[in-house]
């Protein structure tokens, strides 16, 4: 089934290093290697879940893929165009195809604009539409995300968190994108509201044939949503594969530890979960350990892990991992 | 295991309101619960359900005004602390009752060393000498699993990672051997692998020190793992209360049931669609006169819109505030 699908987004060797400047002369003294050489595809119509802990670089990947940052190295093909090196004009023409839904609907909506103008702003920028057409389009979008049309003249503060996230989704849909990066879209919402938003995202995907890159630290929600899952640690991918494979038979020690750390909502099992507790904390991305970046916390680390960086290789059908000790 | 009658903390009919320009916000409405020595009571609820305000009310940690405790009795270890003097309360806070807050960065003072902040309660509450306090502070850091403890006393909060900072907070809360530890979303700001470390630490500390804990969270997974009993809060009220296994196996309140259904499962086949709770949590700008969950409840009937249900016993140690009967699927007779 997978080989029939063709990749819509193809990321290769993506690197994003942020320089660190110090002193009065603002000399560059180092760099934060937020994303350090990662490659993956997103197939048409699928949801690729990107998971990892805070500071692992997952949001940076999301932003790079839409070229909200100037990437340090690598290529990002969306459709047939490599957007990593497009000029401003060309990039602008490409923007309608790719959109983003942000984590915090409070911060990503302008408090001084009405909901209607927030949703129609992308239309003003990219489409030539009459006022009446625009009003109709905004109405359609609000219907699609389950907001009443009469709310179009209200301001973001009049809405609850879940409704605000719907406004953000309507805005992202305004230009009929093919590809949407969802950066922790449900992290700021309450449990009972999260399910509403996730169901909405799924409905829209089915209806409009959208492709999602879904960035999250909520492993159980990603399990529910994603077709395939990529696990990131300290700027690199450690494992990528079909969701079932990753959750049922994780191969990388980090994936195993991460999955076992999720609390089970079932007290009858509480005592007998075989849990891998990782020691210590994530190292700083400005000074990553040599060799495998996970070697400082890995329960299986050997001498070779501290010297050689493991190769990113296919270990099963469509299942990739970077570890010296995976057969 | 314990004498059911013995409680260390007993709260009855607590009501806290906030005065705002648009009238009163009824944040905590008629909340009653008890805590037995050595047990861990989990309080679950969404944001705005009043779980933090309830705990802050106990020790009057809320700014008053705008907050006002309208009603209730708070009995701690045989003492009435609702009417305690400021000085008595100061002795209890950080002494007999320790507090851990959600965000370890904002609750530690950035301009004092970690050692200073652990030593402070030891000097004030336990009247230790400087030297003895230092030794005890190092022991505490070691207890919560910070390597090289005595050397790190002079470090400042920003020199610790998030998980380590939360360990420091736990060390401060434990400094004076509290009888009760109140932890307000202590792992919410942490990553799952660090959360797992902290949960392990808490389990270990409970065995070693045996204090009672109130653990506030919105995460049912965490509750399932560490709690002995659970109280579920909605709109400033406790809607269900039971032993943890009983609550997960036999939830009675439609809200609890819906919450458990909305959780995506990690180890079962993937559900087609997540169950969701429609609508929004209510605005608390009025005294509850009907069931606050009724507008979102799929079992609601006429009575729910007219009367606010009182907590009724389902079995010993399990009660629910609902007119609907989960066992018969119809209205409850009482």
Mean pLDDT (10-residue bins), chain A, 327 residues? 72 91 85 90 93 88 91 90 88 90 86 93 89 91 90 88 90 92 87 86 92 91 92 93 92 92 78 75 84 90 89 91 88
CA distance B198 to B194: 6
Residues in chain A with CB shorter than 8 Å from the CB of B221 are 262-265
CA distance B304 to B323: 7
Paired strand residues for A242: A228
Report strand pairing: A236-242 vs B318-320. Answer: unpaired
Residues in chain A with CB shorter than 8 Å from the CB of B187 are none
The CA dihedral of B20, B24, B26, B29, to the nearest 10 degrees, is: 130
Using a cut of 0.90, tell me whether the model's pTM lies above it. no
CA distance A154 to A181: 26
Q: Do A264 and B225 touch (CB under 8 A)?
A: yes
Residues in chain B with CB shorter than 8 Å from the CB of A247 are 266-267
Interface ipTM:
0.78
- Residue B5 is predicted with a pLDDT of 62
Residues in chain A with CB shorter than 8 Å from the CB of B225 are 263-264, 267, 270
SS3 A214: strand
User: In angstroms, how far is CA B197 from the centroid of its own chain?
Assistant: 20
- Residue A1 is predicted with a pLDDT of 45
Mean pLDDT (10-residue bins), chain B, 334 residues? 68 90 88 91 89 88 86 88 86 86 80 90 87 89 83 88 84 87 85 84 86 90 90 93 92 91 73 78 85 89 88 89 86 76
- Residue A15 is predicted with a pLDDT of 92
Q: Do A219 and B192 touch (CB under 8 A)?
A: yes
Q: What backbone torsions phi and psi does residue A24 show, to the nearest 5 degrees?
A: -70, -25
If phi > 0 it is left, if psi is from -120 to 50 it is alpha, else beta; for residue B320 that is: beta
Give one DSSP letter per residue of B29-75, joined into a string.
EEEEEEE-TT-EEEEE--TTSSHHHHHHHHTT-S-TTTEEEEEEEEE
Q: Is A24 on the interface with B (CB under 8 A)?
A: no
Question: What number of C-beta contacts closer than 8 Å exist between A and B?
Answer: 120
Q: Do A281 and B192 touch (CB under 8 A)?
A: no
Q: What backbone torsions phi and psi does residue B254 show, to the nearest 5 degrees?
A: -55, -30
In Å, how far is B6's CA from the nearest CA of chain A?
Answer: 25
Give one DSSP letter per residue of B159-188, joined into a string.
GS-HHHHHHHHHHHHHTT--SEEEEESTTT
Q: Which of B201, B267, B277, B292 to probe the A interface (max A CBs under 10 A)?
A: B267
CA distance A235 to A72: 13
Q: Which of B52, B7, B54 is nearest to B180 (CA)?
A: B7
- Give CA separation, B143 vs A110, A295, B131, B151, B175, in Å: 47, 26, 19, 15, 11
Closest chain A residue by Cα to residue B278: A196
Angle between helices B130-143 and B114-126 (to 10 degrees): 120
In Å, how far is B182's CA from the nearest CA of chain A?
Answer: 20
CA distance B37 to B210: 8
Report strand pairing: B229-234 vs B40-44. Answer: parallel
Q: Is A272 on the interface with B (CB under 8 A)?
A: no
User: In angstroms, how far is CA A182 from the centroid of its own chain?
Assistant: 6
Q: In what order do the strands lie in the sheet with B9-20?
A: B23-35, B9-20, B67-76, B79-80
- A35: which residues sit within 8 A by CB, 6+ positions away? A14, A15, A16, A57, A60, A61, A64, A235
- Residue A127 is predicted with a pLDDT of 86
Angle between helices A191-208 and A131-145 (to 10 degrees): 120
Q: Do A258 and B193 touch (CB under 8 A)?
A: yes
Closest chain B residue by Cα to residue A262: B192
CA distance A173 to A152: 16
């Amino acid at each position: 089934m997978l080989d029939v699908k063709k990749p819509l987004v193809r990321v290769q060797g993506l690197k994003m290093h942020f320089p660190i400047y110090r002193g009065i002369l603002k000399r560059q003294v180092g760099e934060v290697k937020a994303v350090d050489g990662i490659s993956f595809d997103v197939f048409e119509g699928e949801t690729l879940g990107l998971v990892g802990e805070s500071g692992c670089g997952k949001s940076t990947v999301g932003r790079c893929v839409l070229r909200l940052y100037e990437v340090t190295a690598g290529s990002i093909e969306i459709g047939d165009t490599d957007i990593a090196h497009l000029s401003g004009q060309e990039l602008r023409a490409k923007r309608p195809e790719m959109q983003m839904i942000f984590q915090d609907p409070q911060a990503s909506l302008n408090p001084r604009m009405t909901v209607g103008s927030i949703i129609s702003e992308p239309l003003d920028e990219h489409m030539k539409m009459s006022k009446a057409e625009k009003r109709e389009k905004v109405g359609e979008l609000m219907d699609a995300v389950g907001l009443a049309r009469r709310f179009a003249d209200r301001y973001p503060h009049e809405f609850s968190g879940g409704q605000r996230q719907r406004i953000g989704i309507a805005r992202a849909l305004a230009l009929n994108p093919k590809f949407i990066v969802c950066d922790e879209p449900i992290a700021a919402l309450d449990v009972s509201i999260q399910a509403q938003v996730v169901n909405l995202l799924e409905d829209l995907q089915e209806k409009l044939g959208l492709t999602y890159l879904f960035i999250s630290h909520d492993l159980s929600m990603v399990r529910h949503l994603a077709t395939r899952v990529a696990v990131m640690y300290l700027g690199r991918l450690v494992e990528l594969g079909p969701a079932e494979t990753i959750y049922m038979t994780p191969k990388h020690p980090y994936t195993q530890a991460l999955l076992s750390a999720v609390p089970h909502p079932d007290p009858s099992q509480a005592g007998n979960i075989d849990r891998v507790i990782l020691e210590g904390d994530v190292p700083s991305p400005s000074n990553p350990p040599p060799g495998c970046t996970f070697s400082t916390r890995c329960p299986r680390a050997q001498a070779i892990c501290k010297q050689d960086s493991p190769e990113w290789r296919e270990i099963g059908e469509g299942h990739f991992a970077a570890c010296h000790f995976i057969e | 295991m314990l004498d059911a009658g013995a409680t260390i903390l007993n709260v009855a009919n607590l009501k806290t309101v906030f005065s705002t320009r648009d009238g009163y916000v009824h944040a905590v409405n008629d909340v009653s619960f008890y805590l037995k020595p050595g047990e861990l009571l989990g309080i679950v609820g969404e944001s705005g359900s009043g779980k933090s305000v309830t705990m802050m009310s106990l020790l009057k940690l809320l700014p008053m005004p705008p907050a006002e405790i309208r009603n209730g009795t708070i009995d701690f270890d045989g003492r009435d602390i609702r009417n305690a003097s400021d000085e008595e309360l100061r002795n209890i806070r950080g002494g007999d009752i320790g507090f851990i807050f959600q965000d370890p960065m904002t609750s530690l003072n950035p301009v004092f060393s970690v050692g200073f902040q652990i030593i402070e309660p030891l000097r004030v509450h336990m009247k230790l000498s400087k030297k003895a306090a230092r030794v005890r502070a190092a022991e505490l850091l070691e207890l919560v699993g910070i390597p090289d403890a005595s050397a790190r006393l002079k470090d400042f909060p920003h020199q610790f990672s998030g998980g380590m900072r939360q360990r420091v907070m736990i060390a401060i809360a434990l400094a004076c051997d509290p009888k009760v530890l109140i932890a307000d979303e202590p792992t919410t700001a942490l990553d799952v692998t660090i959360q797992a470390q902290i949960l392990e630490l808490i389990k270990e500390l409970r065995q070693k020190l045996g204090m009672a804990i109130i653990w506030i969270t919105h995460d049912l997974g965490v509750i399932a793992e560490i709690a002995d009993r659970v109280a579920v809060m909605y709109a400033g009220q406790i809607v269900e209360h039971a032993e943890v296994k009983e609550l997960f196996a036999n939830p009675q309140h439609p809200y609890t049931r819906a919450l458990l259904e909305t959780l995506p499962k990690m180890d079962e086949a993937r559900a087609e669609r997540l169950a969701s709770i429609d609508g929004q949590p209510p605005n608390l700008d009025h005294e509850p006169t009907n069931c606050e969950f009724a507008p979102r409840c799929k079992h609601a009937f006429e009575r729910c819109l007219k009367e606010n249900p009182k907590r009724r016993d389902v079995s010993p140690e399990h009660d629910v505030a609902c007119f609907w009967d989960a066992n018969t699927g119809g209205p409850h007779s009482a």
